[in-house]
Structure 1
Amino acid sequence: MKSIFLVGFMGSGKSTIGKQLAKKLKLNYLDTDDLIEQTANKKIKTIFAEDGENVFRDLEHQVLTSTSDLGYVISTGGGIVERQENRAWLSTKQVVYLKTSWETINERLQADQDRPIWQDQSRDKQLLLTKRDSLYRDIAKITIETDNQGVDQIVDQIYSIFE
Protein backbone atom coordinates (compact mmCIF):
# COMPACT_ATOMS: atom_id res chain seq x y z
CA MET A 1 0.00 0.00 0.00
CA LYS A 2 1.19 3.52 -0.76
CA SER A 3 2.13 5.66 2.22
CA ILE A 4 -0.46 8.04 3.64
CA PHE A 5 0.73 11.50 4.69
CA LEU A 6 -1.23 13.40 7.33
CA VAL A 7 -1.08 17.19 7.19
CA GLY A 8 -2.72 19.87 9.29
CA PHE A 9 -2.06 22.65 11.74
CA MET A 10 -0.33 21.98 15.05
CA GLY A 11 -2.80 20.43 17.46
CA SER A 12 -4.94 18.88 14.72
CA GLY A 13 -4.17 15.36 15.95
CA LYS A 14 -1.78 14.16 13.25
CA SER A 15 0.43 12.13 15.60
CA THR A 16 -2.40 10.62 17.65
CA ILE A 17 -4.48 9.75 14.60
CA GLY A 18 -1.44 8.61 12.62
CA LYS A 19 -0.40 6.04 15.21
CA GLN A 20 -3.91 4.58 15.47
CA LEU A 21 -4.44 4.60 11.71
CA ALA A 22 -1.14 2.80 11.12
CA LYS A 23 -2.14 0.07 13.58
CA LYS A 24 -5.54 -0.34 11.99
CA LEU A 25 -4.12 -0.48 8.44
CA LYS A 26 -1.22 -2.68 9.61
CA LEU A 27 1.32 -0.17 8.32
CA ASN A 28 4.45 1.30 9.87
CA TYR A 29 4.23 4.74 11.48
CA LEU A 30 6.59 7.68 11.11
CA ASP A 31 6.46 11.21 12.48
CA THR A 32 8.61 13.72 10.62
CA ASP A 33 9.17 15.70 13.82
CA ASP A 34 10.59 12.59 15.52
CA LEU A 35 12.83 11.95 12.52
CA ILE A 36 14.08 15.55 12.60
CA GLU A 37 14.96 15.22 16.29
CA GLN A 38 16.82 11.95 15.59
CA THR A 39 18.66 13.47 12.63
CA ALA A 40 19.68 16.62 14.52
CA ASN A 41 20.15 14.80 17.82
CA LYS A 42 18.23 17.54 19.60
CA LYS A 43 14.67 18.58 20.36
CA ILE A 44 12.78 20.75 17.88
CA LYS A 45 12.48 23.46 20.51
CA THR A 46 16.29 23.48 20.77
CA ILE A 47 16.75 23.55 17.00
CA PHE A 48 14.53 26.64 16.81
CA ALA A 49 16.36 28.31 19.72
CA GLU A 50 19.93 27.49 18.67
CA ASP A 51 19.77 27.24 14.88
CA GLY A 52 16.60 29.05 13.83
CA GLU A 53 13.50 28.16 11.88
CA ASN A 54 15.29 28.05 8.50
CA VAL A 55 17.61 25.26 9.68
CA PHE A 56 14.58 23.41 11.04
CA ARG A 57 12.77 23.79 7.69
CA ASP A 58 15.86 22.49 5.84
CA LEU A 59 15.91 19.41 8.09
CA GLU A 60 12.17 19.01 7.64
CA HIS A 61 12.53 18.97 3.86
CA GLN A 62 15.40 16.47 4.05
CA VAL A 63 13.43 14.14 6.29
CA LEU A 64 10.21 14.43 4.27
CA THR A 65 11.82 13.58 0.95
CA SER A 66 13.68 10.63 2.45
CA THR A 67 10.48 8.91 3.64
CA SER A 68 9.24 5.80 1.90
CA ASP A 69 6.28 5.99 -0.42
CA LEU A 70 5.22 2.47 0.52
CA GLY A 71 3.81 1.01 3.71
CA TYR A 72 3.73 3.97 6.08
CA VAL A 73 1.38 6.37 7.76
CA ILE A 74 3.44 9.55 8.10
CA SER A 75 2.50 12.47 10.33
CA THR A 76 4.07 15.70 9.15
CA GLY A 77 4.80 18.90 11.03
CA GLY A 78 2.22 21.66 10.82
CA GLY A 79 4.53 23.92 8.83
CA ILE A 80 5.56 21.34 6.24
CA VAL A 81 3.50 23.28 3.68
CA GLU A 82 5.53 26.46 4.23
CA ARG A 83 8.01 25.46 1.53
CA GLN A 84 6.96 25.17 -2.10
CA GLU A 85 9.26 22.18 -2.68
CA ASN A 86 7.48 20.27 0.11
CA ARG A 87 4.08 21.09 -1.35
CA ALA A 88 5.23 19.98 -4.80
CA TRP A 89 6.61 16.73 -3.38
CA LEU A 90 3.48 16.03 -1.31
CA SER A 91 1.12 16.88 -4.16
CA THR A 92 1.99 13.55 -5.81
CA LYS A 93 1.30 11.54 -2.61
CA GLN A 94 -1.74 10.26 -0.73
CA VAL A 95 -2.30 13.26 1.55
CA VAL A 96 -5.03 13.58 4.17
CA TYR A 97 -5.70 17.02 5.64
CA LEU A 98 -6.94 16.95 9.24
CA LYS A 99 -8.87 20.22 9.18
CA THR A 100 -9.36 21.63 12.66
CA SER A 101 -10.91 24.93 13.72
CA TRP A 102 -8.99 27.66 15.50
CA GLU A 103 -11.20 27.22 18.59
CA THR A 104 -10.38 23.51 18.86
CA ILE A 105 -6.66 24.04 18.28
CA ASN A 106 -6.52 26.85 20.82
CA GLU A 107 -8.29 24.67 23.38
CA ARG A 108 -6.00 21.66 22.76
CA LEU A 109 -2.77 23.65 22.93
CA GLN A 110 -3.50 25.95 25.88
CA ALA A 111 -0.94 24.26 28.11
CA ASP A 112 1.52 23.25 25.37
CA GLN A 113 5.15 24.13 26.12
CA ASP A 114 6.88 22.17 23.36
CA ARG A 115 5.89 23.86 20.12
CA PRO A 116 8.19 26.83 19.45
CA ILE A 117 5.82 28.57 17.03
CA TRP A 118 2.92 28.20 19.48
CA GLN A 119 5.09 29.74 22.21
CA ASP A 120 6.21 32.64 20.02
CA GLN A 121 4.06 35.55 21.22
CA SER A 122 5.08 37.69 18.25
CA ARG A 123 3.31 35.40 15.78
CA ASP A 124 -0.38 35.53 15.05
CA LYS A 125 -1.23 31.82 15.10
CA GLN A 126 -4.81 32.31 13.95
CA LEU A 127 -3.58 34.18 10.88
CA LEU A 128 -0.99 31.44 10.32
CA LEU A 129 -3.76 28.80 10.39
CA THR A 130 -5.77 30.80 7.85
CA LYS A 131 -2.73 31.09 5.56
CA ARG A 132 -1.80 27.42 5.83
CA ASP A 133 -5.38 26.17 5.41
CA SER A 134 -5.36 26.89 1.68
CA LEU A 135 -1.93 25.28 1.33
CA TYR A 136 -3.13 22.11 3.08
CA ARG A 137 -6.23 22.00 0.89
CA ASP A 138 -4.16 22.44 -2.27
CA ILE A 139 -2.09 19.30 -1.65
CA ALA A 140 -4.66 17.08 0.08
CA LYS A 141 -6.51 14.37 -1.76
CA ILE A 142 -8.87 14.01 1.23
CA THR A 143 -9.96 16.50 3.90
CA ILE A 144 -11.35 15.27 7.21
CA GLU A 145 -13.08 17.72 9.56
CA THR A 146 -11.83 16.79 13.03
CA ASP A 147 -13.93 19.10 15.22
CA ASN A 148 -16.42 17.32 17.48
CA GLN A 149 -15.08 13.90 16.51
CA GLY A 150 -13.14 11.41 18.56
CA VAL A 151 -9.90 9.82 17.41
CA ASP A 152 -11.63 6.50 16.64
CA GLN A 153 -14.22 8.22 14.45
CA ILE A 154 -11.55 10.05 12.46
CA VAL A 155 -9.41 6.93 12.11
CA ASP A 156 -12.46 4.94 10.93
CA GLN A 157 -13.24 7.58 8.28
CA ILE A 158 -9.71 7.48 6.89
CA TYR A 159 -9.55 3.69 7.18
CA SER A 160 -12.75 3.27 5.17
CA ILE A 161 -11.16 5.25 2.32
CA PHE A 162 -7.89 3.30 2.23
CA GLU A 163 -8.78 -0.24 3.36
Structure 2
Amino acid sequence: MINNNIFLIGMMGSGKSTIAPQLSQVLELPCIDTDQDILSVLDIKISDISELKFRQLESVYFLERTKNDYYVYATGGGIILSEKNRECIQNQGIGIFLDTSITVLHERLINTNLDTRPLLNKINLKEQLNIILKDRKEYYESCAKIKICTNNLLKEEVVEKIITELQNL
Protein backbone atom coordinates (compact mmCIF):
# COMPACT_ATOMS: atom_id res chain seq x y z
CA MET A 1 0.00 0.00 0.00
CA ILE A 2 1.14 3.54 -0.73
CA ASN A 3 0.71 6.48 1.60
CA ASN A 4 0.11 9.21 -0.92
CA ASN A 5 -2.44 10.56 -3.34
CA ILE A 6 -2.04 9.33 -6.89
CA PHE A 7 -3.18 11.77 -9.58
CA LEU A 8 -3.64 10.36 -13.06
CA ILE A 9 -3.38 13.28 -15.46
CA GLY A 10 -3.51 13.53 -19.23
CA MET A 11 -5.71 14.21 -22.19
CA MET A 12 -9.29 13.04 -22.52
CA GLY A 13 -9.10 9.54 -23.93
CA SER A 14 -5.69 8.80 -22.40
CA GLY A 15 -7.18 6.12 -20.14
CA LYS A 16 -7.32 7.81 -16.74
CA SER A 17 -10.84 6.59 -15.92
CA THR A 18 -10.01 3.09 -17.16
CA ILE A 19 -6.66 2.76 -15.36
CA ALA A 20 -7.64 4.33 -12.02
CA PRO A 21 -9.90 1.50 -10.74
CA GLN A 22 -7.33 -1.17 -11.57
CA LEU A 23 -4.50 0.85 -10.07
CA SER A 24 -6.53 1.53 -6.93
CA GLN A 25 -7.05 -2.22 -6.44
CA VAL A 26 -3.34 -2.94 -6.69
CA LEU A 27 -2.41 -0.04 -4.39
CA GLU A 28 -5.30 -0.75 -2.01
CA LEU A 29 -6.48 2.84 -2.21
CA PRO A 30 -9.99 4.07 -2.97
CA CYS A 31 -10.56 5.54 -6.42
CA ILE A 32 -12.27 8.76 -7.45
CA ASP A 33 -13.10 9.87 -10.98
CA THR A 34 -13.21 13.62 -10.41
CA ASP A 35 -15.41 14.51 -13.40
CA GLN A 36 -18.01 11.89 -12.52
CA ASP A 37 -17.88 12.72 -8.81
CA ILE A 38 -18.38 16.45 -9.38
CA LEU A 39 -21.34 15.89 -11.69
CA SER A 40 -22.88 13.38 -9.29
CA VAL A 41 -22.42 15.55 -6.19
CA LEU A 42 -23.84 18.62 -7.93
CA ASP A 43 -26.48 16.61 -9.82
CA ILE A 44 -25.75 18.36 -13.11
CA LYS A 45 -24.77 17.45 -16.66
CA ILE A 46 -21.59 18.91 -18.10
CA SER A 47 -23.62 20.23 -21.04
CA ASP A 48 -25.77 22.28 -18.62
CA ILE A 49 -22.96 24.65 -17.63
CA SER A 50 -20.18 26.58 -19.35
CA GLU A 51 -16.61 25.30 -19.42
CA LEU A 52 -15.54 28.26 -17.25
CA LYS A 53 -18.17 27.44 -14.61
CA PHE A 54 -17.20 23.76 -14.69
CA ARG A 55 -13.49 24.63 -14.23
CA GLN A 56 -14.37 26.82 -11.24
CA LEU A 57 -16.48 24.09 -9.64
CA GLU A 58 -13.83 21.50 -10.48
CA SER A 59 -11.11 23.49 -8.73
CA VAL A 60 -13.12 24.15 -5.56
CA TYR A 61 -14.14 20.50 -5.41
CA PHE A 62 -10.63 19.18 -6.14
CA LEU A 63 -8.83 21.34 -3.60
CA GLU A 64 -11.35 20.39 -0.91
CA ARG A 65 -11.42 16.69 -1.83
CA THR A 66 -7.64 16.26 -1.70
CA LYS A 67 -7.57 17.32 1.96
CA ASN A 68 -9.01 13.92 2.91
CA ASP A 69 -7.43 10.47 2.98
CA TYR A 70 -5.30 9.15 0.14
CA TYR A 71 -6.96 8.22 -3.15
CA VAL A 72 -6.20 7.31 -6.73
CA TYR A 73 -7.67 10.21 -8.71
CA ALA A 74 -8.74 9.93 -12.33
CA THR A 75 -8.67 13.65 -12.98
CA GLY A 76 -10.41 15.56 -15.72
CA GLY A 77 -8.14 16.43 -18.64
CA GLY A 78 -8.33 20.14 -17.83
CA ILE A 79 -7.63 19.91 -14.10
CA ILE A 80 -4.10 21.21 -14.72
CA LEU A 81 -5.36 24.50 -16.20
CA SER A 82 -5.67 25.95 -12.69
CA GLU A 83 -2.41 26.96 -11.02
CA LYS A 84 -3.81 25.98 -7.60
CA ASN A 85 -4.72 22.53 -8.92
CA ARG A 86 -1.23 22.12 -10.38
CA GLU A 87 0.30 23.06 -7.03
CA CYS A 88 -1.96 20.55 -5.30
CA ILE A 89 -0.92 17.76 -7.67
CA GLN A 90 2.76 18.64 -7.26
CA ASN A 91 2.65 18.98 -3.46
CA GLN A 92 -0.03 16.59 -2.23
CA GLY A 93 0.75 13.40 -4.09
CA ILE A 94 2.26 11.81 -7.14
CA GLY A 95 1.23 13.06 -10.56
CA ILE A 96 1.28 10.40 -13.27
CA PHE A 97 1.00 11.69 -16.84
CA LEU A 98 -0.63 9.18 -19.18
CA ASP A 99 0.98 10.44 -22.37
CA THR A 100 -0.95 9.34 -25.43
CA SER A 101 -0.40 10.31 -29.06
CA ILE A 102 -2.98 12.34 -30.97
CA THR A 103 -3.47 9.39 -33.34
CA VAL A 104 -4.33 7.03 -30.49
CA LEU A 105 -6.54 9.62 -28.77
CA HIS A 106 -8.39 10.13 -32.05
CA GLU A 107 -8.89 6.37 -32.50
CA ARG A 108 -10.26 6.06 -28.97
CA LEU A 109 -12.56 9.07 -29.13
CA ILE A 110 -13.90 9.11 -32.69
CA ASN A 111 -16.52 6.41 -32.04
CA THR A 112 -17.55 7.56 -28.57
CA ASN A 113 -20.40 9.81 -27.48
CA LEU A 114 -18.80 13.25 -27.41
CA ASP A 115 -21.78 14.80 -25.59
CA THR A 116 -19.84 14.49 -22.33
CA ARG A 117 -16.79 16.15 -23.93
CA PRO A 118 -18.02 19.63 -24.82
CA LEU A 119 -14.62 20.78 -26.10
CA LEU A 120 -14.78 18.26 -28.94
CA ASN A 121 -16.83 17.43 -31.99
CA LYS A 122 -16.23 14.75 -34.59
CA ILE A 123 -15.83 17.13 -37.53
CA ASN A 124 -12.30 18.33 -36.73
CA LEU A 125 -11.48 16.00 -33.86
CA LYS A 126 -7.78 15.49 -34.62
CA GLU A 127 -7.21 19.21 -35.06
CA GLN A 128 -9.06 19.97 -31.82
CA LEU A 129 -7.00 17.40 -29.92
CA ASN A 130 -3.78 18.92 -31.28
CA ILE A 131 -4.78 22.39 -30.11
CA ILE A 132 -5.81 21.20 -26.65
CA LEU A 133 -2.66 19.13 -26.17
CA LYS A 134 -0.46 22.01 -27.30
CA ASP A 135 -2.08 24.21 -24.62
CA ARG A 136 -1.78 21.60 -21.86
CA LYS A 137 1.28 19.42 -22.42
CA GLU A 138 3.73 21.59 -20.47
CA TYR A 139 1.33 21.58 -17.51
CA TYR A 140 0.97 17.80 -17.61
CA GLU A 141 4.74 17.41 -17.69
CA SER A 142 5.37 19.93 -14.90
CA CYS A 143 2.89 18.14 -12.62
CA ALA A 144 4.13 14.62 -13.34
CA LYS A 145 6.65 12.75 -11.26
CA ILE A 146 6.00 9.81 -13.57
CA LYS A 147 5.27 9.82 -17.31
CA ILE A 148 3.90 6.71 -19.02
CA CYS A 149 3.49 6.48 -22.78
CA THR A 150 0.25 4.53 -23.14
CA ASN A 151 0.34 4.04 -26.93
CA ASN A 152 -0.23 0.41 -27.91
CA LEU A 153 -0.33 -0.77 -24.28
CA LEU A 154 -3.07 -2.84 -22.69
CA LYS A 155 -4.53 -1.35 -19.52
CA GLU A 156 -2.85 -4.09 -17.46
CA GLU A 157 0.50 -3.10 -18.96
CA VAL A 158 -0.07 0.55 -18.09
CA VAL A 159 -0.86 -0.40 -14.48
CA GLU A 160 2.23 -2.60 -14.34
CA LYS A 161 4.45 0.23 -15.65
CA ILE A 162 2.97 2.64 -13.10
CA ILE A 163 3.63 0.22 -10.23
CA THR A 164 7.23 -0.26 -11.39
CA GLU A 165 7.77 3.51 -11.60
CA LEU A 166 6.20 4.06 -8.17
CA GLN A 167 8.58 1.50 -6.69
CA ASN A 168 11.51 3.35 -8.28
CA LEU A 169 10.61 6.72 -6.72
Q: TM-score when scaled to structure 1?
A: 0.89
After TM superposition, the structure 1 = structure 2 runs for residues 1-163 of structure 1, keeping only pairs within 5 Å, are 1-46=3-48, 51-68=49-66, 70-92=69-91, 93-113=93-113, 114-119=116-121, 124-162=128-166
Distance (whole Å) between structure 2 residues aligned to residue 98 and residue 27 of structure 1 = 19
Q: 1:12–1:98: 8 Å Cα contact kept in structure 2?
A: yes
SS of structure 1 residue aligned to 2:26: helix
* CA offsets 1:76-126 (integer angstroms, 9 cap, x no match): 000111122211222212100000000000000002222111238688321
Distance (whole Å) between structure 2 residues aligned to residue 68 and residue 88 of structure 1 = 12
AA of the residue aligned to 2:154: G
Q: Which runs of 4+ in 1 moved over 3 A?
A: 120-123
Distance (whole Å) between structure 2 residues aligned to residue 96 and residue 68 of structure 1 = 16
Unaligned runs of 5+ in 1: none
How many residues align? The count is: 159
Q: 2:110–2:122: 8 Å Cα contact kept in structure 1?
A: no
* CA offsets 1:49-80 (integer angstroms, 9 cap, x no match): xx311110011101211224643110100011
Unaligned runs of 5+ in 2: none
Q: TM-score when scaled to structure 2?
A: 0.86
Identity of aligned residues (%): 35
Distance (whole Å) between structure 1 residues aligned to residue 66 and residue 38 of structure 2 = 15
Aligned CA-pair RMSD: 1.8
